[in-house]
Structure 1
């Protein structure tokens, strides 16, 4: 079985400014919503978690054994730590990052994170929803439902083609809104709508019908691996914002892109490992 660890970037709100044409998103609402899935074999769950434990001990020292929140690795923390060290400062929160007081130390952490992607070679998917582009033609579709539908489609195709029909499940941190969305039936209705007209019908039975939402206070292995999904989401969002692949080392884009699924016709990650909705949205240059 493959476990696809999921995380997100941005919000899935479609709130608009009232009485404006063309429609505009409300201030404070993110322009993009990104949902990622980092797929690993169930037999790799413990080795990857152990590797991340060792990485934190190496770079954060004793702070890694204290409150987990103090040493959590997130894409935005890597960015902030890099910029702080470059200016001669130290990132004070989360507290474990206080050990990264030079650019060399931050870069060493980033390099070791890249090695985890290179060593374990997870199968990576990122779905980017351009909510501004949705306002024109697809404003009635929910970004959360679209993102999960696209992720299900691509995981199902990968399981059928690459893993001989093995099973898969999405694993995510507890999300009350996501759980309610699945229970309401909205997600599966959007998935049905987006399946109509596809030349190849995904075998959705290869993906468990809803994610396994874990309690990260109890599931220590899973919360470590979800950190990789956060890094992917943060970097994919930056790719959309810049309109091109980000080159700053803290985004780890080169390492992530090498793990992304490729489109079976083009051999490129666009349309598969990196999927964008709607079709008229501007695609980044890769």
Structure 2
């Protein structure tokens, strides 16, 4: 019996593309330079085992318990980075870092567990990084969110057709009002059609539901665990394109993430599992 592939998605950075109030030709200074949208794909039969493994990591390392609010120990790339900076001497951030992690050995152990999850479950990973300042300059008025979703859908549809014949896929995400609006307004469809006209290969979008399955994380408790992996991918990618893939914020998890990125016919994930748009004149060192 064929299985269904579930692609859990999350983001890093903000997709806002507002102009600077003092110079309409420039992107506003109070937004992020990059917007990253990432997907972690697993077979539906792996859903429970993966969720339970992530829950175990949080119980053993972060103090997660049934009587604690789930978000207090939620695995997030930003929180791991803030915790590591605190251990290196920065001021503590009680609302963001993990109080249960008291030394470098403890945070290294958490990262080693996450590396082990990628190695054990071998998810198929896609991550799209939109250079918002270049997009604003080269294609005024174009939405970073729409381009990120269009590339993600295209790459996943092509991968399903190539490597999973007879199977389909569903994108799964936390409820996101702005994301849902982009689908209702057909922003994604317009950009997706442009990619289809200009692309070398034609993707069969019938293999995917036309929009993500938006979950209530208070009810879909397995799925909210797995979405944490997509957050870790998105944050690590963001750190990589912004500061370099060998930077402090990226180097701990990036090699394991890169090993799971979808690859082209030559075995490279660059431009396939990892998309940077607009395409840079010089591709960053990712290996």
TM-score bracket for this pair, using the shorter chain length: over 0.9
Where in structure 2 are there 5+ consecutive unaligned residues?
none
Closer, same or farther in 2 for the Cα pair 1:65/1:161, shift >3 Å?
farther
Alpha-carbon shift at residue 88 of structure 1 (Å)? 8.9
Of 10, 13, 16, 2:13 maps to 10
Alpha-carbon shift at residue 242 of structure 1 (Å)? 1.9
Which residue of the partner structure matches residue 178 of structure 1? 179
Alpha-carbon shift at residue 140 of structure 1 (Å)? 2.9
Which residue of the partner structure matches residue 31 of structure 1? 33
Alpha-carbon distance in structure 1 between the residues aligned to 2:104 and 2:92: 10
SS at match of 1:272: coil
Alpha-carbon shift at residue 19 of structure 1 (Å)? 5.9
Where in structure 1 are there 5+ consecutive unaligned residues?
none
How many equivalent residue pairs? 283
Alpha-carbon shift at residue 251 of structure 1 (Å)? 4.3
Greater helix share, structure number: 1
Alpha-carbon distance in structure 1 between the residues aligned to 2:175 and 2:164: 28
- Tell whether the 8 Å contact from 1:14 to 1:139 is kept in structure 2 after alignment: no
- Tell whether the 8 Å contact from 2:77 to 2:236 is kept in structure 1 after alignment: yes
Give the alignment of 1:79-228 within 5 angstroms.
79-87=81-89, 92-93=94-95, 97-228=98-229
Alpha-carbon shift at residue 146 of structure 1 (Å)? 0.7
Give the RMSD, CA atoms, in angstroms: 2.0
Alpha-carbon distance in structure 2 between the residues aligned to 1:80 and 1:248: 9
Which is further off, 69-78 or 11-20?
11-20
1:115-172 Cα shifts (integer Å, max 9, x gaps) = 0111001000000100111123222321111111100110011101111141001000
Runs of 4+ in structure 1 off by over 4 angstroms are: 62-65, 88-91, 247-251
1:239-274 Cα shifts (integer Å, max 9, x gaps) = 11124444557741111111111122x321111110
Which is further off, 168-177 or 182-191?
182-191
Alpha-carbon shift at residue 282 of structure 1 (Å)? 5.3
Q: TM-score, normalised by structure 1?
A: 0.92
Which is further off, 196-205 or 209-218?
196-205
1:30-64 Cα shifts (integer Å, max 9, x gaps) = 11111000001000000000101111111123546
